[in-house]
Amino acid sequence: MTGAISPWHLLIVVLIFLLFFGSKRMPDAARSLGRSMRIFKTEVSQMQAEGKTGEAAPEAQAQPAQPVTPPAQLPPAQPVQQPAPQPNDQQKA
């Protein structure tokens, strides 16, 4: 065995799908899968077209770079006072 998928393997997979989903849902599933693949294909082609033209996002080109301002000075940190531990009722006995 070479590890390739034979026609028998594909037939078994199709029969399992028919058993799980039924023959009524299979055309709807194939139709929605075709729509999804069509949408994916158009999105990929649009991304490739944008990459070839070298266009960046319009928002990034439209906004000028603003100078970076340093953060405001904060007051020095104050130590936090921890409350004294209270003895448990079990320790009193």
Which residues lie closer than 8 Å to 29 by C-beta, 6 or more apart?
21
In whole angstroms, how far apart are CA 41 and each of 4, 36, 78?
27, 9, 59
Q: Dump pLDDT digits (tens) for 16-27.
A: 888 888 878 878
Percent of the chain's residues with pLDDT above 90: 23
- The letter for the amino acid at 90 is Q
pTM, full prediction: 0.39
Nearest Cα to Cα of residue 28 among 13, 17, 43, 41: 17
Residue 93 has pLDDT above 60, yes or no: no
CA-CA-CA-CA torsion sign (17, 18, 21, 26): positive
Task: Return the CA Rg of the chain.
Answer: 33
